[in-house]
Amino acid sequence: MRTLPRVLIVEDEAPIAELIAVNLRHNGFQPTWAMDSETAQRELDAVLPDVILLDWMLPGESGLSLAKKWRKDPRTKGVPILMLTARGDEADRVAGLDAGADDYITKPFSTKELLARIRAVLRRRAPEQLGGSVAIGALLLDASTHRVSYDGQPLKLGPTEFKLLHYFMKHAERVHSRGQLLDKVWGDHVFIEERTVDVHVKRLREALGAAGVLIETVRGAGYRLTAQPLAQRQPAAVATPS
C-alpha cells in the first residue's frame, strides 16, 4: 500500500490551516497542523514530513527563523519548504528564498495553485544525482559522497546549490538561461519565478569562495561555468612596432 505524502502545515490562523488541510486530504495528501514553532518542532521530531507549508508570521519564532534552522539541521535540510505569507514585496521573497524556502506563495492564493506547487516540489525532490565525480580545474565535485572541494579545501553547499553546481560542471563552458536552469536543476519551471535562479547562483558563488569567479553572468543570456574566468585570462599578444 502506497503511503500518502505527509504535509506539515505551520500556520497560526485556524481557518486557513483547516481549509488547506481539507483540500490536501481530498487530493491524496496526509496533512498535520502545527499552530506555532514549538508544536511544529515537536511534529518534525516525531515524523519527518515530505513537504512543509510554513507561514512567515507566527507567534514566538518566525517562519523565516524556522526555515533557517531547519536548513542547518542535517535531518531536515532536504525537506521542501513552501513559505506562505502576505508579504509579497521582492525583498521579502528574496529573504524567504535566502532562508532556505524552495518556493514562496503570497496570500491570498488559490488551493489549486497551492496543490500544483506542492506536487512540483515533490517531483523536484526525486533523486537525480548520479555517482562519480567531475572536476573543473581545482574544483572537484563527488556526487556519490555529496562533497565539493576547491584546491583541496572542502566547501559547504546547500542541496539546491549542490545540484546547480553539478549541472554547471557537467555542462561547463555552455551558457544556460534561467529558464533552462529551472527546468534542468529544479525539474519543473511552471510555478517558480526565474529570479529564484539569481538567488541560488548568488548563494552558490558565496559558498564557493575563491572559486565563485568560475560562474560568470552572461548579460542578456544567463550563466556559464568556465574553467578560466575572465579575470584570469591572458590578453591577446599585440605586436610592437619595430
Same domain, 29 and 116: yes
Query: Which pLDDT band holds residue 86 (cuts at 50, 70, 90)?
Result: confident
Same domain, 82 and 110: yes
Q: Quick one: pLDDT at residue 195? A: 82
CATH of the domain at 104: 3.40.50.2300
Query: Which pLDDT band holds residue 11 (cuts at 50, 70, 90)?
Result: very high
Q: Tell which of 108, 125, 142 closes a domain.
A: 125
Q: Quick one: pLDDT at residue 48? A: 85
* 63-72 helix and 37-46 helix, angle to the nearest 10 degrees: 30
Q: Quick one: pLDDT at residue 200? A: 93
User: Of the given ranges (48-52, 86-90, 146-150, 201-205), which has the lowest mean pLDDT?
Assistant: 86-90
List of long-range contacts for 181-190, beta carbons under 8 Å, 24+ apart: 181/222, 181/223, 185/160, 186/124, 186/160, 187/120, 187/123, 187/124, 187/126, 187/128, 188/120, 188/123, 188/124, 190/116, 190/120
**What value does the mean pLDDT take over residues 156-181?**
90
**120 located within any domain:** yes
**110 located within any domain:** yes
Q: Quick one: pLDDT at residue 193? A: 72
Give pTM, 2 decimals.
0.54
Higher pLDDT, residue 8 or 129: 8
Which residues are within 8 A (CB) of 132 and not within 5 positions of it... i.e. 6 or more apart?
Answer: 142, 143, 144
Same domain, 64 and 153: no
User: For residues 165 and 27, what is the distance between their CA atoms, to the nearest angstrom?
Assistant: 35
Q: Tell which of 125, 141, 169 closes a domain.
A: 125
State yes or no: pLDDT of 119 exceeds 90: no
Domain that holds residue 167: 133-230
Most confident of 43-57, 111-125, 223-237: 43-57
Q: Quick one: pLDDT at residue 20? A: 93
Q: Look at the chain and report how many structural domains it folds into.
A: 2
CATH of the domain at 158: 1.10.10.10
